[in-house]
Amino acid sequence: MNSEYLALLEEKMGKTFHKLEALKSEKLVDFLGEYIKLCNPDSVYMCDDSEEDAGYIRDRAINEGEEIELAGKNRTIHYDGYGDQARDKKNTKFMVPENKLERMGSLNCVEYKEGLAEIKTIAENIMKGKEAIVKIFCEGPIHSVFSRPCVQLTDSAYVAHSEDILYRRGYEHFLHMEDKSDFWSFCHSAGELDENMNSVNLHNRRIYQDLENNIVYSMNAQYAGNTVGLKKHSMRLAINESGKHGWLCEHMFLMSVMNDEKNRKSHFCGAFPSACGKTSTAMIPGEKIIGDDICYFRNINGQFKAVNVENGIFGIIKDVNEKDDPVIYKALQENNELIFSNVLTGPDNNPYWTGMGIETPKKGRNHSGEWFEGKKDSDGKEIPISHPNSRYTMRLEYLDNIDQAYNDRDGVDVDAIVYGGRDSDTTVPVEESRDWKEGIIIKAVTLESETTAATLGKAGVRVPCLMANLDFISYPIGEYIHNNVKFTDGMDSVPKIFSVNYFMKDKNGKIATSKLAKKVWIHWAEGRCNGEYDAFETPTGYIPVYEDVKVLFKELLDEDFTEELYEYLFSFRCNAWLAKLERAKENFKKNYNDIPQYVYDMWDEYTEKIKAAKEKYGDIIAPGVYKNSR
């Protein structure tokens, strides 16, 4: 290698420099050299996949005060500063050349040269006085067609520790790669820190993504959603790359639905907007989890294959309790390597959080500093024991219900895709699409989430949530929709698409079913994937027959499910669906100028179909009335 940066890197890395040399990647040396020279850390620690290096990072996070040890072995807590406890959507931007800006439509972008100049100005000497860490990870299983190697440069041991829990170590993978230039790069600095080890210069917080060169910059931030580059930032790189090369990256869980009676399992993926049941579906008691957040899809020899990108969970901890989330709760109570963030540390040095389901301490330390019950913030609002966006970081292997397929290098065959929204009066609890195209355009693209009383603003507003992925799509929306529609062309097996809605309200305004009713809807879908169960047709797909779900409720939940409730839940509501399609058309025409015409044509076709059904059967169409059963 003839890189101009070799002498600098050897000086900064010292005894760990040989690990970089062994990788024999001039592109890696140039990336690290450029940004180590710019950010100017006092020293750099280059990691391999060893437990020794992982231990070094864990110890440094504690010694530097970024994490604090809790009671029990291996558990720590990290506190983010006020103003840095959620994703910064405003300052998360795509760096795009001027000649490509217009085609990005409403996506949050900055002109490439302008963005790069701004980042480099902010980054200059930002790591001075610190030690930087270089660590290599792999998105997806290692040594796989799905693998995406990633290189992280950071001055935060907390960020490096979080990634070591959440992702597969990738040094050995990189060592054996044929193309040593094919990787994604991440440069992060927490910037200047205060006495609590929190980022100070939040006005200069920037999370910029260079889609041309697959580089992500994160400056003056600590909250993992802004700094753990391999999560949502890497997801944006993956969506952009997948759009160019014919695969998909989706914001979905991957689970195994277990049919013990038939001695089989089916693989389901699911996309749900926030607070619509994504994690609770992936963690339904009796099923197995492969991943909870991000999937890569590929066509492998005509088969629809998926992998979980991650190796762990960065999950919201609010309301995780022994009753509703027994598997996660158990893992959080054990001496696993865990990082809690922004929860309460009680006098016994154990973590406590809102909705934990047990009596919690009246004082301790939390994200506001020393805390006591009734403490108020500067606006006079009472501060809860834990921040609403407080989190836990843990490995998937800690879960009792982990499916070992989560590490399958070849991926798993996908039987079904589930799109779950939230509305109180339109979408039935479960419905099967007639085919893939209908499923994408009628169910996925029109996905909505209804605001609740707990949401800022007015309750009952239907927020469009395109495929539960809108915040992360990194190329024009119309192209993204088209790539999803065409993805299954020529495949030998195509997953069924289902919609689910766990939030239909009864006539008294309360959610009509128990929390675990979702197990019934998912198992009905699993049966349909395997050629079981009859169904009634509706204008938008197929719904269960009463006798089948009645039996499932009894077998799976030991609950009685009345025919009266069934007819109420599964009636097709024409006016509500007409309004839903009209909202979709208005939203897309207002915000996007590249939506394929066939999307609007299908919405128009279904609008006319629903109007004809309403004319014939009335606004509310009971199950089994529309056309024939199937």
Distance from C-alpha of 221 to C-alpha of 81, rounded to nearest angstrom: 9
Task: DSSP for 142-196, please give it.
Answer: SSSTT-EEEEEEES-HHHHHHHHHHSEE-HHHHHT-S-TT--EEEEEE--SB-TT
Q: Find tokens 């299954």 and name the residue.
A: 488
Tally of CB atoms within 10 A around 387:
24
Contact 195, 188 (CB under 8 A): no
For residue 525, give the nearest of 440, 443, 433 by alpha carbon: 433
Q: Find tokens 């809860």 and name the residue.
A: 384
Distance from C-alpha of 497 to C-alpha of 437, rounded to nearest angstrom: 9
From the candidates 269, 276, 465, 574, give the one annotated as an active-site residue.
276
Contact 570, 429 (CB under 8 A): yes
Cβ-proximal residues to 64 (8 Å cutoff; 6+ apart), any chain: 157, 197
Phi, psi angle pair for 459, to nearest 5° = -75, 150
Distance from C-alpha of 324 to C-alpha of 628, rounded to nearest angstrom: 39
Distance from C-alpha of 197 to C-alpha of 382, rounded to nearest angstrom: 25
For residue 77, give the nearest of 477, 350, 328 by alpha carbon: 350
Contact 502, 496 (CB under 8 A): no
3-class state of residue 45 by DSSP = strand
Q: How many angstroms separate the first and last alpha carbons of the chain?
A: 66
For residue 270, give the nearest of 292, 288, 287 by alpha carbon: 292
Pairing, β 215-219 against β 206-210: antiparallel
Distance from C-alpha of 604 to C-alpha of 597, rounded to nearest angstrom: 11
Task: DSSP for 527-557, please give it.
Answer: HHHTT---EEEETTEEEE-HHHHHHHIIIII
Residue 529 among the catalytic residues: no
Contact 170, 143 (CB under 8 A): no
3-class state of residue 372 by DSSP = strand
Contact 94, 104 (CB under 8 A): yes
Q: Which two tokens stand for residue 619?
A: 């606004």
Tally of CB atoms within 10 A around 271:
23
Distance from C-alpha of 235 to C-alpha of 230, rounded to nearest angstrom: 7
Residues noted as catalytic: 276
